[in-house]
Structures are given as C-alpha cells and as structure tokens.
Chains A and B, each alone.
Chain A
Amino acid sequence: MHSDRASLGLKIAAGAGLAFMHLPLLLIFIYAFTTEDKSYQWPPPGLTLKWFSVTWSRPDVWEALSLSVRVAAISTAIALVLGTLCAAAVSRTKFFGREAVSLMVILPIALPGIITGISLRSAFNLADIPFSFWTIVLGHATFCVVVVYNNAVARFRRTSGSLIEASMDLGADSFQTFRHVILPNIATALLAGGMLAFALSFDEVIVTTFTAGQQQTLPIWMLEELVRPRQRPVTNVVAMVVVLVTFLPILGAYYLTRGTDTVAGQGK
C-alpha cells in the first residue's frame, strides 16, 4: 500500500469499475444501428443507417427537441443571473443568514426531485396557473441556480478582493468595476456553470413530468417510449444523439475550468 505502484488487484478493480460505468452507454451506440425493430435482440441481426433518416423526418422528435432547447436556454439565462447575484453576495462578506442562503440554493437539488415536482404542481393548482412553457421554465431555473452558484462561488473565492479595491481607487465606479474587472475574472466560470445548467435542464425529467402538462420535452418523449415502447429504432437513435449532445457541454466545462482548484460539475 505504501509503494508507488498500484497493486494488480486495485488496477483490476478500478478498471472494472470504470468499464461498468461506460459499457452500457456504448451499448446504446450499437443499438442505434441495428436492423431489428420489434425487440431488443442481441446480437443485432444486421447493421443499417436507415433509422437515422427515419428519425430525421419525425416531426414529434423535432418538436420535443425544440421545446427542450428553448426551455434549457431560458432557464440557463435566469439561473446565470440569480446564481451570480447569490454568489457575489455570499462570497464578498460575511452577513447574518449567509448559511441559510446557501442552504436555500442547494435545497432544490438536495431534496428528491419528486418533492420539488409535486410542490410546484400543487402550487400551480392552488394558484390556478395553467401549464405552459413558463411553468416548465419556473421549475428548471430553480434547480439550475445551484450549478451556476457553485461555479461562481468557487471563482469569486479565488479572485482577490484587492483587485476590486484597486479598480475603485483608480476612479472606476461599481458598474465599471463590474464590467472591466469582475466580469472578465469570472467569465469562464460562468460559461462553465451555464453549460452545466443547460445540460441539467436539457436532461431533466422528474420535475418536468409535474410541470409540463401535455407538452413534451425530449426527456418526456423518451420516458413515454420507455414505459410503452412503440418505435424502438427511433428511440435508439434519439438516445445515442442525446448522449453525444450532453458530452459536449461537459467536455467544454471541463476545459474551461481545468487548472483551477475546483473543477466544474462536481456538485451536480
């Protein structure tokens, strides 16, 4: 245990663990090309590219995708503003209730999603708010704040307060300081947080089932297919595309925050 080389047992255990996390995802990639469309038969009887064009010409998939992207974009924008404000307040000074504020931000993600979901739904019922695009956004923005907040707080902590004082001493007002000193310092952290918030919203299904009504986001479309499989090949293709699309923001966020002490995405 005190040597510099890992024992064989540890290597095998670590490798097997990583394989366990990745093989199921790889399987999705193979199934997207199978010729079988009635069952989940393994091994695939043949390989084809046909289902990609079938999926491409499906209006319901496009509508669900478009709704998901719009919801994720607006929710991310709201979360960016709220998360940055919160992080700025919490990291600049110690004030009464500081712990309570960070708890409030983390709560929507710490409690099971189903609780957030039915709370919102029963509140919409009580207040007679009909389901709409905005009810979905309301839920998503709420749990996206924490991702932006975590990234921004980590960066604010590393940004020296003397920079801000120096800027003020040199005659800049608060707004100029924000624009020319604070913003460039936290920009990559915000970008990383925003990407992760987008990924989180794009993938969310538990809260969305309660706030969407009859609307279908892409995860809801997938959920229907999971419960009652009707078009397996199309689902296979959509699943593969979703995996590829979510990898991009994760890789992006990783490269943006690499080399800092807290790397983005640790607190999903």
Chain B
Amino acid sequence: MSDLSLHTGRSGPLTRLSDWLWRNPRMLILLLLTPPALWLGIIYLGSLFALLAQSFFSIDEFSGLIVYEFTLKTYGELFTPANFDIIVRTVVMAAAVTVAAALISFPIAYYAARYAKGKWKAVFYLGVMLPLWSSYLVKVYSWKLILAKEGILNWLFEILHMKWLLEAYLAIPVIGGNSLSVSWTGTFLVFLYVWLPFMVLPIQASLERVPTSMLEASGDLGANPGQSFRYVLLPLALPGVIAGSIFTFSLTLGDYIIPQIVGSSRRFIGQAVYSYQGTAGNIPLAAAFAVVPIVIMGVYLWVAKRKGAFDAL
C-alpha cells in the first residue's frame, strides 16, 4: 500500500494516517469506538453504577443522612409490607397490560402482515407508527380528556342509558373507584393505550416471516382454522409476542407519570423511586427500588433470549 502511494505521488500526513489505518484495522475500530464508548461508558454506565452502589448504603433514621457503609438493610426495607405491596401491584399491572396489549395487537399485526397489500400496507404501517411516535404526554392528556367526569366516555354512557352499568363497574373493589379517572381501570387503560404500538410491531415482524404455505399445509392435513392457529401460527408468532412484551412490561414497570395523572393514591414502583429520591431524600432506598425493575427485566430478558425473541426485534 505504501509502495503504491509513492507511485501515485500521494503524500501528506492525512494520507499517511489513512494508509496506516488501512493496514491496522484494529486501530481503526478502536478509534471509531473510543468516542461513543467514552460517552456511554462514563456518562451512562458510570452514573448507573454509582446509583446502584448507593443501594448498598443506608440512611440514618434520626439525622436523615446517608451512612456510607456497606449494608443490605436497605434491600431488607423493600420487603416491608408497604413496599412489597408496591412491587406486587406494579408487576400485576405490567402483566395485565402486557396480556391485554398482546390480545389487541394480534389481529392488527396479523391483518397487516398477511392481508394488507400495497396502499393498505402503508396505511397499517403508518397507522401504528404515528401513535407510537406521538408525544407521550399528549397521549396521556387525551385520556385525561376522555376519562374526565364531564368527558366523552361518561357522556357516551349517558346517552346510551348505560350509566348504571358504569356505576356498577366502579362499585367493584380494587379495580373501581370514585370515577374512572381515579381508578386502576383508568390507569390500566392509559398504560394499554400508550404502550400498545410497541406490541404490534414485533408481532407483525414475526408474522411476516410465517410462510403462507405452512398454514395451507396445516389446512390440507385437516386442521380447522382454530387448530391451525393454536398449533402452527401461535408457536411461530410467539417470539414476536415475547419481544413486544419486553417493551410493554419494562415500560409499565418504570413509569411514574401515568399513575400520578390517572389513578388512585396507591403507588407504583416508579412513583416510589421518584418520591424517595426527591422529597424524602432517601437515595439508598430509591436506588434499591430502582434495582427491582432491573432484576425483573434481567430475568425476563434471559427467558426471552432462550425463547428466541431477539430474532423478532
């Protein structure tokens, strides 16, 4: 290479640097990676580990100051009834949102993957993309409008003369409440709405890869549509469902804004983290709480990887 550059009359430090990089591809990789690795390594991983380290400290109950000594006491506090309730509640909510999102997404994804052609393909694609990328807060806000006492949902129940049905539903303990906007049902609806597009895309991606001939073969061999779905389509689409569930589950676990705006006063993990680090100033407990979604997601991702979900991302 250097011989050639002599012949063609190329010289100058830039050319020499370029030739040197060409001969040393490892150095090129190193140079390419250094800036992003420094940025993400120092700013992101650095602060993440600093936070996690703080979960092994504890807070002095009298002075309210952080005691910088290694202890597992803060993790123990996670298992007091009040805190453990928060964790269970959040995980149940995340699971419910994930299941509902999968049920609603499947027909959309299936239609888009198998039947939508040409223009309709684009309509379905953008139809999922636009809500996915629309402002998170605007989406939450739209539900505040819908669920408000004077809002459209109550109005609909009223003109359909179904007000009694809504009231009977709200009278159910746990999922009901004074009105939809301060009930868990409200929180659930908003979570479902906001994370739904994250479920549709991976399911659609995995369904696109199911050859039509497989379903035809299943039918030819005597399976009815239900059986084809149960024994052929669903197993092949499962990686996509799991990939989507990673998003819906993880996003629900960490959110603190939705339950604060639409929901009851009973808190979720995100709200607990937020209030412990803020007004309470109990960074160690906030950090320990933050570890909970990380651990849950770690286990979840490990299982998902074994099921082959990452090929569908």
Contacts and interface: CB of A to CB of B under 8 A. Distances in A.
A222 interface: yes
B45 to A, nearest CB: 7
Contact of A122 (B50, B146, B294): B50
Contacts of B54: 122
Interface residues of B, number: 105
Interface in A210-224: 219, 222-223
Size band of the interface chain A makes with B: 35 or more
A223 B257 CA distance: 9
Question: What does DSSP make chain A's interface, helix, strand, loop or mixed?
Answer: helix
Contact of A243 (B125, B138, B290, B297): B138
B286 interface: yes
Nearest to A24: B142
Given A6-B115, A118-B286, A120-B47, A83 B36 contact: yes
B273 A85 contact: no
A39 B111 contact: no
A119 B144 contact: no
Contacts of B215: 1-2
A208 B26 CA distance: 37
B127 A18 contact: yes
Contact of A115 (B104, B129, B261, B293): B293
Contacts of A247: 130, 134
Interface stretch (B70-78, B147-155, B171-179): B147-155
B145 A82 contact: no
Interface stretch (A54-62, A137-145, A186-194): A137-145
B135 to A, nearest CB: 5
Contacts of B287: 118, 122
B235 interface: no
A141 B42 CA distance: 13
B139 A112 contact: no
Interface string A5-43: 110001101100110111011011001000000011111
B26 A27 contact: no
A20 B201 CA distance: 16
B200 to A, nearest CB: 8
A236 B282 CA distance: 37
A234 interface: no
A136 interface: no
Nearest to A2: B219
19 contacts: A2-B212, A10-B115, A14-B111, A24-B146, A27-B142, A27-B146, A40-B148, A42-B150, A88-B32, A114-B255, A115-B51, A118-B286, A123-B43, A173-B15, A203-B137, A222-B135, A226-B140, A242-B135, A265-B132
Given A42-B155, A89-B29, A247-B130, 14 more contacts: A21-B193, A24-B143, A28-B141, A85-B35, A105-B40, A113-B254, A114-B270, A115-B290, A123-B46, A142-B44, A173-B10, A222-B138, A226-B144, A250-B130
